[in-house]
Amino acid sequence: MSTLTPPAPLADDRPADDAPGRPERERIFRRRGSGDFSKPTLGGLIGRYALLLFVLVLVIGPFLWQLSTSFKGPQENIYSFPPNLIPREPTLGNYSTVADIVPVYLYAWHSLLVSVGTVISNVVLATFAGYALGCMRFRGKWIVMAILLSTLLFPGEVTVTSNFLTIRALGLADTLWGVFLPGAISAMNVLLIATACRMIPKDVLDAATVDGATTWQRIRHIVWPNIRGMVSVVAIFAFIGAWDDYLWPLIVLSDPAKYTLTVGMAYLNSSFSVDPRLIAAGTMIALVPIVIMFSFTQRFFFKGVQEGAIKG
């Protein structure tokens, strides 16, 4: 009785490493693990941390120097080199002096009113305008998009004169409403929301329309849940821009009792006070609310940026 011998394996049954035609370099790279870019060499790791440290010094260095200067006493040299970031005799007297020279709390309240109003108006108006540009069909849509894009080519200083003449004609000069109105809506924010709305599947919106959903229902139940991340980015940028704005409030406001915080802090660099310690203390007072706000909202900011990057 003869025994059956199994057939010889075909060439395709061979292991992948022994398959003919595979480049020799690829086999060597896979054996050595040199294709794994997540594990840099020692030199690359040192270079990364050195670059990170250099950027950190450039970004955080001025802030730390200003913070240190704001706590230094009048007898301490603030221009020593290398700079001494730890005050020898720390004091809070500079902050109390700033509060005596400038009505800090009143100016901060004015800045807060303008900033919160700017956030609300940008979120509401940019959401509606972005929905119209991103999800609706109408004649002249691309003309509107072109006009919005063209406004981004000009710096804000170009429109200062026209904005001031408009505000004065409306009788809003030297008022907080005049400070708020030009920043109530931004073309950049509209385009950001429109881009987020364009990522929503059109079939979902069409199905909602067939089911009888109104425009408000589509925005509330379909559009809003998909653009909340981008809206948080718009809100944070709007708040920071309104809080840090200096040129426009300086032009519109003439009554010192109505100044915003950034304009009011300019008194510290006037003839009334030339002490850099007081200027540093005023800078910290204006900066602390931004730091606190961003520390509480950074997770929404990075989530919105990540969602926009993934959807885009």
Over residues 186-224, the pLDDT tens digits come to 888 998 898 888 888 888 888 888 888 888 888 888 888
Over residues 17-57, the pLDDT tens digits come to 444 555 555 554 455 444 455 677 887 788 888 898 888 88
- Altogether, the residues listed in the chain come to a count of 312
**How many Å apart are CA 204 and CA 218, to the nearest integer?**
10
Q: Name which of 48, 87, 43 is nearest 69 in CA terms.
A: 87
Q: What element of type H or E holds 61?
A: helix 42-70
| Ramachandran sector of residue 21 (left: φ over 0; alpha: ψ -120 to 50; beta: rest) | left
Q: Which fold has domain 100-311?
A: MetI-like fold (1.10.3720)
* Integer CA distances (angstroms), 215 to 92, 199, 210, 229, in order: 55, 18, 12, 21
Residues of the chain with CATH 1.10.3720.10: 100-311
Confidence band, pLDDT 50/70/90 cuts, at residue 305: low
Q: What are phi and psi of 57, to 5 degrees?
A: -65, -40
**How many Å apart are CA 294 and CA 301, to the nearest integer?**
9
In sequence order, what DSSP letters do the residues of 254-279 get, joined into one string? --GGG--HHHHGGGGGSTT---HHHH
Lowest average pLDDT, out of 134-148, 167-181, 237-251, 292-306, goes to 292-306
**How many Å apart are CA 172 and CA 31, to the nearest integer?**
73
**The model's pTM:** 0.74
**How many Å apart are CA 69 and CA 72, to the nearest integer?**
5
CA atoms within 13 A on the CB side of 191: 13
Over residues 61-90, the pLDDT tens digits come to 888 888 888 888 777 777 777 777 788 878
Question: What is the pLDDT at residue 33?
Answer: 47
Radius of gyration of the chain, Cα coordinates, nearest whole angstrom: 30
CB neighbours of residue 187 within 10 Å: 15
